């Protein structure tokens, strides 16, 4: 059985991930540096090696955008990944007093759109030509109700 753990995200962890969502390798590494600076993030380690990362870009008071990058090896641990991501997402949302968290998902990635719903996101809105390669995305949000 593989050992899974979390550690704070660092841009150099992105070296272990192939380019995705239309990014070139250089573009993805540059984006990783911006993600590290933009807010809290964590890296998923499997037997000490990075296999996933996720975090929150903070736009302004109360609003953040969640991001993820995962390698296929994590599919066998999808229950752990979902529970852990949901817990961390809830903890970060509360700790940073966020009233809105959003996530952009490629429109052609059905499993990721379903996962966004499982994590508590809703209100899908189309984002035509949003990706660096011109791919369509869908924006989901989690809105904290007052009271």
24-80 pLDDT, tens per residue? Answer: 777 777 777 788 788 899 999 999 888 989 999 999 999 999 998 888 888 899 999
Assign domain 4-143 to its CATH architecture: 3-Layer(aba) Sandwich (3.40)
Name the pTM for this structure.
0.86
Inter-helix orientation angle 110-118/78-95, to 10°? 50
By DSSP bridging, strand 49-60 and strand 41-46 are: antiparallel
- Could you tell me the pLDDT band of residue 134, with boundaries at 50, 70 and 90? very high
Q: Which residues contact 15 (CB under 8 A, 6 or more apart)?
A: 29
**Mean pLDDT in the chain?**
89
Phi, psi of 72 (to 5 degrees): -60, -25
Cα separation, 99 vs 90, in Å, equals 11
Cα separation, 28 vs 31, in Å, equals 5
Query: Which token pair is 94?
Result: 């509360």
Q: Which of 4, 2, 31, 3 is nearest to 15 (CA)?
A: 31
DSSP 140: E
Q: pLDDT tens digit string along 71-113?
A: 888 889 999 999 999 999 999 999 999 999 999 999 999 999 9
């Amino acid at each position: 059985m593989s050992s899974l753990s979390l550690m704070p995200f660092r841009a150099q962890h992105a070296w272990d991930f192939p380019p995705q969502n239309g990014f070139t390798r250089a573009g993805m590494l540059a984006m990783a540096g911006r993600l590290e600076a933009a807010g809290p993030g964590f890296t998923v380690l499997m037997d000490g090696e990075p296999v996933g990362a996720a975090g929150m870009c903070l736009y302004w008071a109360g609003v953040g955008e969640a991001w993820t990058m995962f390698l296929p090896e994590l599919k066998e641990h999808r229950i752990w990944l979902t529970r852990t991501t949901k817990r961390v997402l809830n903890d970060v949302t509360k700790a940073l007093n966020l009233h809105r968290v959003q996530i952009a998902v490629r429109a052609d990635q059905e499993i990721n759109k379903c996962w966004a719903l499982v994590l508590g996101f809703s209100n899908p809105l189309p984002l035509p030509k949003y990706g660096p390669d011109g791919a369509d995305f869908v924006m989901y949000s989690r809105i904290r109700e007052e009271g």
